[in-house]
Amino acid sequence: MCKHDKSKKHLLFPLLLLLVFLPSNLSAVSAEEIIQKMDELATFETSYSTGSIQTKDRFGTKTSTFNAWSQGESDSLIEFTSTAERGQKILRTKGSLYLFYPDAEELIRLQGAALRQSMLGSDISYEDMTEEKNTLDNYKAVLEGTEAFKDTMCYVITLTATTRSVAYPVQKLWIDTENYLVWKAQYSTAQGRLLKEMEVLSTLEAGGRVIASETRIEDKMKRDSHTYMRLDSLEVNPVLDKKIFTLENLTW
């Protein structure tokens, strides 16, 4: 009996220790680490995906389909395949965004405020679509705590811009504590005015990571408008021709 009690005490100590330290262990994960992990898991060495952008506004529903290629944290290419936009391409390389239109003899380079224009009339801006995955270069992160979002425990992190070159001065993110997927995001001005809201509706697994497969984006500056972005397929780390992300290759 006594022996049994002793063994119980032995078990109780580490359990108490775990209970005391478990919350602090969780909070010990810094906001920077979470964001870094989030960026890492959202970045592929290379990827190829197909999907669609469906915009619902006062004039009805419009669907555009696309093929997209990405490489690392800053190179991406999107080619639209739907009839109205067939052949149009958006190329983002480090620091620059170019638009290719089949009937234009020159490429259009979008800069500054033009990057914040709506892409194909959707609630997504060119910058949103091709954003670089280097959040900590432009934002200071603060971990507000944890919160359940759709039965999933999430870190709630507020990002405050440290540069003026970003589209959203303040971002509030709900990041999955397990797979670091951003389930929800609110993008605001420095004064707290909500500009855009994003919510993940469904996910898929690719390359051992959980990726958003359907996202709802709502531009709060537009009335009666929201956009669904769907990934139909995602191929992780395919072998891509390095020329894909060059200007010379953009006109093929």
Following DSSP, what letter does each residue of 141-194 receive, concatenated? EEEEEEEEETTEEEEEEEEEESSSSSS-SEEEEEEETTT--EEEEEEE-TT--E
Q: Smaller CB distance to another protein: residue 41 or 91?
A: 91
Q: Are the CB atoms for 117 and 146 separated by under 8 Å?
A: no
55 counts as binding another protein under rule CB under 8 A: yes
Whole-Å CA distances, 216 to 35, 37, 150, 162, 186: 21, 23, 15, 27, 12
* Contact pick of 59, 207, 221, 251 for another protein (by CB under 8 A): 59
Following DSSP, what letter does each residue of 101-120 receive, concatenated? -TT-SS-EEE-GGGGGSBST
Q: Smaller CB distance to another protein: residue 105 or 151?
A: 105
Q: Given the DSSP bridges, would you call strands 226-236 and 75-80 parallel, antiparallel or unpaired?
A: unpaired
Cα 126 off chain centre by: 13
104 counts as binding another protein under rule CB under 8 A: yes
Q: Smaller CB distance to another protein: residue 5 or 105?
A: 105
- Give the interface segment with another protein, choosing from 42-50, 52-60, 171-179, 237-245 (CB under 8 A): 52-60
Place of tokens 């669907």: 63
Picking from 97, 71, 101, 76, the residue whose alpha carbon sits closest to that of residue 89 is 101
Report how far apart the first and last C-alpha atoms of the chain are (Å, whole number).
82
Q: How far is the CB of 202 from another protein (least distance, A)?
A: 25
165 counts as binding another protein under rule CB under 8 A: no
Q: Smaller CB distance to another protein: residue 35 or 53?
A: 53
In whole angstroms, what is the distance from residue 111 CA to residue 21 CA? 49
103 counts as binding another protein under rule CB under 8 A: yes
- Give the interface segment with another protein, choosing from 26-34, 116-124, 142-150, 169-177 (CB under 8 A): 116-124
* Contact pick of 15, 108, 142, 247 for another protein (by CB under 8 A): 108
* Residues 67 to 96 in contact with another protein, rule: CB under 8 A: 84-85, 88
Which residues are CB-contacts of 197 (< 8 A; sequence separation ≥ 6)?
A: 184, 185, 186, 187, 217, 218, 220
Q: Smaller CB distance to another protein: residue 60 or 208?
A: 60
* Contact pick of 23, 45, 96, 101 for another protein (by CB under 8 A): 101
Contact code string over 11-50 relative to another protein, x by CB under 8 A:
----------------------------------------
Residues at the site binding another protein, with contacts judged by CB under 8 A = 55, 57-59, 62, 64, 84-85, 88, 99, 101, 103-106, 108-109, 111, 114, 119-121
